[in-house]
Chains A and B, each alone.
Chain A
């Protein structure tokens, strides 16, 4: 939307740390995460359950509630620091400059309010705009996300809409103010394949057109392959590998990334799937050093010391003492 080319990152996350203080002990759910997102860029944040990918998204948008809190690091939205910002400022930014789309659209939608009320309220929370003008904007936003019969949908309650339709409305609300950054947490995981395709097409187009930076949080490598420019892979609260989508998926440097990619069935091939043994460790019982070492075929003595995330090429970094140098294809 802006004419000038904006090179400053839309979102800059540096050494972000979030911990939960529970009776069982301290859980470092986000353990020194750094990310950078340009305008119009789509970053896939990939991980399995318990990897900390959702908590990273919640930390960025300031949605962490006690017993959790951000214990360190920085989140800069178009240069402005969010960590430690007061509640009023955060409220002013959230929904306007940064928005979140959840797996369950009912996290966004109020079940007892008509769609129109929810959308116009969201508009009027951040802008001086009359009822009629707000309604027109809401209607346009629904058209934009491909909802047929928008006037009818504006009058509807969320339960009257299908799951795919609700998610479109949630996306329309997230994009109402043309935010700099959208954090999308598994927004298509609960949807059917054909509906997922519709949503993917939609967010791709809207981000490109408007220069919105998108962090797409998912466990699904295939979805990320289709829409992301860059990928960051998380394991046990830390980023273990990041880089351009083709580099990471074709030449993964971290054994975990490689294992994940290899576990996805290859079309037309029916042999046994290569599997990563074991499962993600509990954050309460993290092994010393590299958290992946107990499941890693390449682990050695050095892995008892915690590896750093080190650059291994243009825009690429890996957290491994023995990064893989790929000669043969993974798949």
Chain B
């Protein structure tokens, strides 16, 4: 029997954009409606994250991966759909004391996510103090143990964040998230801004923490090499929808959806020398005006008339593997 999911999301959608203003409402009464400018950043996404699992979300800018992460972290409210934490709706838990701490977020830019006027010790110690996670007389020891765990020199406790490099700041951000004893870390491009040698240090830190604390991760990144390295399972998003998901090893070895295939083919690898890149054509369409049918069809080399008319559903194509493509109906 599978362990129960730590986080489950059902039919999540997020729409950004203006509601109808007065003029719009009047016009719509006369049937002269101008469609409101709305972006469906995430559309009908369902997922389950099991305890101890590292789930990756990949896709290009504008695919909705960050919006999805923010909804899971309860920073953004979904427009429709619901998120369950250990089987109970996130909304109901919000009013409980200490709830909402179970999911913490690590951001891409450690330069803008740390208050420049606070010292490292306060940055890390503030949340556990406010939430009463540790007694006041134990706070110092608690902060120091977190600093050690995240590889921050204890001598830096009294310094300000701006005195640190990107890698050190990211460590402070991680220590700060860990301070409230979360179960799930949502990492949104958490290593993307770091230099290669520093990136390896932080990736290793994430994996160490997973082992030591049994942490679960939602790892959002456009860096497919890192995702393949750290994730157990991967979701591929395109224009707000999941187009493919499955165990990382299988998905990277044998991608099924044409978009996943194109994405993986375009990844530069050290092993690939003097590559002749044969990239897919075109840009991602504007999410303000997504194409009808399958959203990938304008760039898909295999698109048919059906793809232009009808959106494919996300269906199981093999145990644990889902894909949203009409071609799955007619196996090659």
Contacts and interface: CB of A to CB of B under 8 A. Distances in A.
Contacts of B269: 222, 225-226, 267
Interface of B: 60-61, 165-167, 195-201, 203-204, 207, 222, 224-226, 228-230, 249, 252-253, 262-263, 265-281, 283-284
Contacts of B252: 267-268
A264 B224 contact: no
Contacts of A260: 196-197
Interface of A: 48-49, 162, 164-165, 192-198, 200-201, 204, 219-223, 225-227, 229, 245-246, 249, 259-261, 263-265, 267-270, 272-277, 279-280, 331
Given A275-B200, A279-B165, A194 B280 contact: yes
B277 A268 contact: no
Contacts of A198: 277, 279, 281
6 nearest CB pairs, A to B: A197-B279, A265-B229, A263-B200, A197-B266, A192-B60, A222-B268
Contacts of A277: 201
Contact of B283 (A48, A165, A280): A165
Given A222-B272, A265-B225, A268-B252, 15 more contacts: A192-B60, A193-B222, A193-B263, A195-B60, A197-B277, A197-B279, A197-B280, A222-B225, A226-B268, A227-B274, A260-B196, A265-B226, A267-B225, A273-B229, A275-B204
Contact of A200 (B201, B204, B277): B277
29 contacts: A162-B283, A192-B61, A192-B222, A195-B60, A195-B279, A197-B265, A198-B281, A200-B279, A201-B279, A204-B276, A219-B196, A222-B225, A222-B267, A223-B268, A225-B269, A225-B272, A225-B273, A226-B274, A226-B277, A249-B273, A264-B270, A265-B229, A267-B228, A268-B253, A270-B229, A272-B207, A273-B229, A275-B200, A279-B197
Contact of A225 (B165, B222, B271): B271
B167 A193 contact: no
A270 B197 CA distance: 17
Contacts of B273: 225-226, 245-246, 249
Contacts, number: 135
Nearest to A220: B268
A194 B270 contact: no
A204 B274 CA distance: 9
A225 B270 contact: yes
Contacts of B268: 196, 200, 220, 222-223, 225-226
Given A49-B195, A279-B167, A201 B278 contact: yes
Contacts of A225: 268-273, 275
A40 to B, nearest CB: 13
Contact of B204 (A267, A269, A273): A273
B60 A261 contact: no
Contacts of A267: 225, 228, 252, 269, 271
Most buried by A among B226, B252, B271: B271
Contacts of B197: 48, 259-260, 263, 275-276, 279
A98 to B, nearest CB: 24
A226 B272 CA distance: 6
Contacts of A280: 195
A238 B95 CA distance: 57
Nearest to B259: A194
Contact of B275 (A48, A227, A229, A246): A227
A273 B203 contact: yes
Contacts of B229: 265, 269-270, 273
